[in-house]
Structures are given as C-alpha cells and as structure tokens.
Amino acid sequence: QQHSKSFSEIPPKSQSPRALPNPVKKVKATFVTLARNADLWELLSSIQSIEDRFNSKFGYDWVFLNDEPFTDEFIEETTKSISGTTKYGVIPYDQWSVPLWINSEKFKEAREDMASRGVIYGDSISYRHMCRYESGFFFRHPLMDEYEYYWRVEPSVKFYCDINYDIFKFMKQNDYQYGFTIAMQEYRETIPTLWDKTVEFMDKYPNFIAEENSMPLISDDDGASYNLCHFWSNFEIGKLDFLRSKAYLSYFEYLDKAGGFFYERWGDAPVHSIAASLFLDKEQIHYFDDVGYYHGPFTSCPRDEKVRKEGRCSCNPKEDFTFQIGSCMNKYYKFRGIKKPSY
C-alpha cells in the first residue's frame, strides 16, 4: 500500500523538471509509527502537530506498521494529513508471536506475578510484543529498507515549537546516530536481569564496545550495575545503520534468546539506550534541547528564550521535566561536560 500527495514535487509551470537546478538532496528518511487501527484518532493529532511544526516544510515520508492490516479509514485519514508519501506495512507473524524457545508456563507465571505486584503493563502480552518489535524488528521491515534515518512517532504526542531546520540533514551532517529529548529512569521491576545479560554480552563481545562510550550515563559504578537511565524511545531520531549493525543485531539476538522480553517486560527504551550508550561514540548521541515535546505525562520544554521565540513554542518552561526528579539529564549534562542552563 503506498500513497503519495506530491504537490511539493510538482515543478513550477514555466520549467520542465530537467531545467530545474540540482536541488540539495533530501536525506532518505522517514517517520515511523507502530500503531493499531484503534490508535487512528490519537495518531492524527500527533501527525497534525508534527506536520504543522516541521514536516509540511520538508515532506518526509511516513511508514506505518501494524500486526494487523490497516483499515481503509486509517489509510485515508493518515494519508490526507501527511505531506510526504505514506506507506503501510503488516508485521510478519513470527515477529509478533511468542517464540518457540519461550516456556509458556513460565511466561504465564511471570505475567501473573507482575500483575499481582501492580507492574505497569505487567500482565500484557501485546505490550511485550510491541517492546520486542520496537527493539528488534521495525528497522528490518522491507518498507524501511530504502531509508537511512527514522523518526519515531506515537499517538497523542505534541510538538510545541516550530522546527525550522531539516532535522534529518542535521543528523547526517553531524554524524549523529541517535537523538533524544527526554531521559529518565526505568521501572526496575520490568528489567531485573537485563543488565546481567548485558554484562554477559559485553564479556563475550568486547570488540563491540565503543572506546568513547557512554557507560557513565547508564551505570554509576563503572558497569557493575545499571542505574535505570534510558532515553525515552517514544521520541527517537536515529540512523538505521546503527540498529542494523552487527553489534546491535547480536545484542538484540542475545537478549531475545534470554527470554526477558517475555519472562520480564523489557522495554525497547532501555534496550536501545544501553546499546547506544555502549556501541556508539558519545559524540554520536544528540540531545535535542530545542524540541518542545510532550508524551504523557512528561513535557520537554526548551529553556532557551531564543529557541522559544523563534520556534513560537506553546509550552510552559516551568513544566519542563529536564531537571525534575526521575530525569537523568543532570547526569547527562555532567557526563558530557555541558553547562546547565541557569534559568
């Protein structure tokens, strides 16, 4: 399924396409959203926000993925709102089902146990498939093959400021491989053995660990334990080659075989974040302090007066989560040696 609304590609009437000067090449990049048909209306508000604040100026594509076929209504409503080409893909069954090596009795007990302790999404099977898919598979969907960068978008998010530059070009020009807006602590109960498995992996494949890694961001004791810090992956701008790399794929494979996506409730956020922190050079991770963003219940609101003015931001900087309890940004500023804003 492919739909395009290509007004931005129509050349001016007086010129044939050939006569146009060579345009600055657009980066091969796409928005990507995993969603259910029922998420349509909440998604349309995210789309409106991102189109108004960014994409109407650039016309990037948008890939939608679902474990079921999208409805005609979903396709029509999203296509009409997006300036770029929209594409709709179904997820292969084996990427959204319980793998053979998972013991279903043990899995059931784990869900019951987590539910009884009130762990958020602790009893959900579909949430686990979602986390595993976002961890290991979305970037391998054939619809993603042609792209170099992705920007993940979820339903019901808001963008509070105009983004007046081409973010994908910015990523490419600076050789950034992973970009985030909010970093916070994960619920420990969802990932009791994730760090143990990560340590095993590091011992087995020390060659995958970057020299200039970001270990101090994710561990306060030089790797002995995980401090629960992760980039909040509902917003994510990344280079697909990072997720397609041997290091990342081996890491995912190792975690997947360990079963923690099912026996525990490993999220894609800590998985992506640990991988980015260990396998990438710290300079390849970018903090977007200029992107006003909301995903319930947290807001990231730029503090820089100039950014707020030029971006016509509509958020309250007093609600900014960056330096509140639970955020990992104090650590980030310290680790990267960046001066914290004084306001």
Residues 74, 131, 197: CA angle, nearest 5 degrees: 165
Pick one of 29, 50, 130, 237: the residue that binds ligand GDP (CB under 6 A).
130
Question: Which of 109, 136, 131, 107 is CA-nearest to residue 262?
Answer: 107
Residue of 189, 236, 253, 283 marked catalytic: 236
Q: Does 136 bind ligand GDP (CB under 6 A)?
A: no
Tokens of 258: 């360990």
Q: Smallest distance from the beta carbon of 35 to ligand GDP, in angstroms? A: 4
Residues 196, 185: Cα–Cα separation, whole Å? 18
Q: Is 40 in the site for ligand GDP (CB under 6 A)?
A: no
Can you tell me the distance from the alpha carbon of 67 to that of 281, in angstroms, rounded to the nearest whole number?
34
Q: Which is nearer to ligand GDP, 139 or 176 (CB)?
A: 139
Give least dist CB 44 to ligand GDP, A.
Answer: 12
Closer residue to ligand GDP, CB minimum distance, 130 or 218:
130
Minimum gap (Å) between residue 36 Cβ and ligand GDP: 4
Asked, as a colleague might, if the bond just before 11 is cis with ω within 30 of 0, I would say: no
Tell me which stretch binds ligand GDP (CB under 6 A): 33-41, 170-178, 194-202, 297-305.
33-41
Provide the 10 A C-beta neighbour count for residue 41: 10
- When the beta carbons of 68 and 305 are compared against ligand GDP, the nearer one is 68
- List the Cα angle 229/64/57 in 5-degree steps: 85
Q: Which is nearer to ligand GDP, 1 or 245 (CB)?
A: 1
- CB 131, CB 273: distance < 8 Å: no
Query: How is residue 70 written in tokens?
Result: 């999208």
Q: Which does 35 bind (CB under 5 to 8 A by kind): Mn ion, ligand GDP, none?
A: ligand GDP
Residues 124-163 touching Mn ion, rule: CB under 5 A, are: 154
Q: Using CB under 6 A, pick the residue from 154, 162, 304, 310 that binds ligand GDP.
A: 154
The reply to whether 36 sits near ligand GDP by the rule CB under 6 A is: yes
Binders in 80-99 for ligand GDP, by CB under 6 A: none
Among the residue ranges 48-56, 129-137, 228-236, 263-271, the one whose residues contact Mn ion (CB under 5 A)? 228-236
The answer to whether 242 touches 280, Cβ cutoff 8 Å, is yes
**Listed residue (282, 217, 209, 213) closest to 247, CA to CA:** 209
Sign of CA dihedral 59, 60, 61, 62: negative
Q: Which of 96, 98, 241, 275 is nearest to 172 (CA)?
A: 241
Side chain identity at residue 153, one-letter code: V
Nearer to ligand GDP, 39 or 61 (CB): 39
> What distance in Å separates the CA atoms of residue 278 and residue 280, rounded to the nearest whole number?
6
If the CB atoms of residues 34 and 218 are measured against ligand GDP, the closer one turns out to be: 34
Indicate which single residue of 34, 75, 217, 240 sits in contact with ligand GDP (rule: CB under 6 A). 34
- Per-residue binder mask for ligand GDP (CB under 6 A), 231-270, x = binder: ---x------------------------------------
Which one of 71, 126, 164, 173 is in contact with ligand GDP (CB under 6 A)? 126
Q: Which residue is nearest to ligand GDP (CB)?
A: 126
The number of angstroms, rounded, from the C-alpha of 322 to the middle of its chain's C-alpha atoms is: 18
Smallest separation (angstroms) from Mn ion to the CB of 301: 19
Q: How far is the CA of 105 from the CAs of 55, 59, 256, 302, in angstroms?
A: 47, 48, 18, 48
CA dist., res. 267 & res. 179, Å (int): 18
| Residue 236 designated active-site | yes
Among candidate residues 63, 7, 74, the one with its CA nearest the CA of residue 36: 74
Q: How far is Cα of residue 67 from the mean position of the Cα atoms in its chain?
A: 18
Q: How far is the CB of 155 from Mn ion (least distance, A)?
A: 7
Using CB under 5 A, list all residues that contact Mn ion.
Answer: 154, 234
Which residues carry out catalysis? Answer: 236
Binding site for ligand GDP (CB under 6 A): 33-36, 39, 66-67, 126, 130, 154-155, 234
